[in-house]
Structure formats: structure tokens, C-alpha cells
Amino acid sequence: MVLVGNEYLDQLFIWHVDDLQACGRAKPHHPFLRLRIAHTLRILVTEGAGNELAYRVRERYTCPLWVLVPEAISGNTPADQLPKIPANVVSYATPITVETHPRGTDGYYHKPYELKMYLDRPTGILMKRPIKPRELIKFLANKLGGSHADNELVDHPKNIDAETLYFLNQRISIMGEQAIFKLFDNCAPMIWRCLAPLRDEVAANYPDLEMLHV
């Protein structure tokens, strides 16, 4: 394989998205598995030299990069005024069921957010501090995961945001999980669901492609 050009980027994108799925299915979700997922998301969706792979691939395809978030319908909005979402995109959306919405599924719909907008949309609030998916990815991949690890993160942190997230993760739990890890577990599958339809569109050009994941 020639490791340059659009075909290589396409296949690299497919490999990374498939790796996200493989990691997501693995049990248990120990901290190092989360760090692996964060590293992959960092390559796919965050800014920086050599990153934003998903956006670079998307330029040559038609599938939108939308994160579909279940939300309540505002007022009595007619069905024909709700967003029109392509079937291949909505097929990956988080199902709206009685398990996810015990009070009933009526009145909810999948609201599409452009991926970059979703990354900067708070996914939770800890001690009055909004926590965004983008900073979760960077914190796990860069600080905890070793890309830009600070050996003195605990005692002498050089980055106030990293210090805050580290403190929140150590001191706050959500349903028995460390808080930052739990929030990451909530948003990472949403991002995979956003990337999967584009992955399928790209993969249709490579029917003989064999993917390997450990």
C-alpha cells in the first residue's frame, strides 16, 4: 500500500472508525481503553497538524457529519418542520425508547448538531463548570494518555484546565464511575455514531478492504 494520497486517507479513516467500534464493544471499559479511544478521536476530530482526519475525508464525500442528540420537541412543532435526516445517518442514531425515556417517547426527536458544534457543546456540568467533549478528548489523549503528558500533573500542574479536570475526575463520581470518564463514555459513542455513516460511504469504494483490530 502506498501510504500517501486520498485512497490512503480513506482507508486510514475506515480503520480508525472501526477501531472505535471495536474498543466500544470491549468490556470492561478500563482507563487505558478509554485513553485509546481518546487518542483515536483526537486524530479524527480535533484540530492540529495531521488531525481532523474525518473532515479531510468528508470533503470528497456527501454524508454529513451530524451528531444526533435526542431532545424534546419544542411546543407543538409539526412533524414536517422537524429536521430531515438522511436514512443512513438516522440508522446509527441512539434509539429513543422507553428504556432511555421512561416517561414516554412521544415528544422527542433526534436533533442534528454539526460535529464541530457538538464538540463545543457542554455534555455535562461538574461543580458549576461546563464540560465539553472536545476538552474531554484532549485531556484523556494528551494529558492522561501521554501525547503531552505532564509527569507532575498532580503536584505541579502547568495547565489550569488539566488540573481542574484531573481534580474533578478524582473527587467526583457519577453512578460509581469517575466523573470525567463517565462523561467521556457518554459522548464518545455519540461521535462514533456520527462518523459511522461516512465510514460506510467511504468503505463502499473499497469492497476488498480487510481491516485488522487487536
- Going by C-alpha positions, the residue among 186, 199, 93 that lies closest to residue 137 is 186
Reported confidence tier of residue 159, pLDDT bands at 50, 70, 90: very low
Distance CA 139, CA 100 (A): 28
pLDDT at residue number 200: 96
pLDDT at residue number 163: 57
152: pLDDT strictly greater than 50: no
Reported confidence tier of residue 58, pLDDT bands at 50, 70, 90: very high
Percent of the chain with pLDDT over 90: 43
C-alpha gyration radius of the chain: 18
- Going by C-alpha positions, the residue among 108, 130, 129, 128 that lies closest to residue 119 is 130
Reported confidence tier of residue 151, pLDDT bands at 50, 70, 90: very low
127: pLDDT strictly greater than 90: no
pTM of the model: 0.82
In this structure, the number of other CB atoms found within 10 A of the CB of residue 47 comes to 12
214: pLDDT strictly greater than 60: no
Taking CB atoms within 8 Å and a gap of at least 24, the contacts of 143-149 are 144/31, 144/35, 144/38, 145/35, 145/38, 145/39, 146/35, 147/39, 147/42
Q: Which of 25-34, 62-71, 125-134 has the highest mean pLDDT?
A: 62-71
pLDDT at residue number 173: 54
pLDDT at residue number 99: 76
177: pLDDT strictly greater than 80: no
Residue with cell 484523556: 140
Residue 147 exposure: Cα atoms within 13 Å on the Cβ side: 14
- Going by C-alpha positions, the residue among 113, 60, 68, 108 that lies closest to residue 88 is 68
Reported confidence tier of residue 50, pLDDT bands at 50, 70, 90: low
Distance CA 132, CA 136 (A): 6
pLDDT at residue number 169: 57
154: pLDDT strictly greater than 50: no
Contacts with 99 (C-beta within 8 Å, 6 or more apart), sequence order: none
State the pairing for strand pair 177-178/173-174.
antiparallel
118: pLDDT strictly greater than 60: yes
Distance CA 11, CA 5 (A): 10
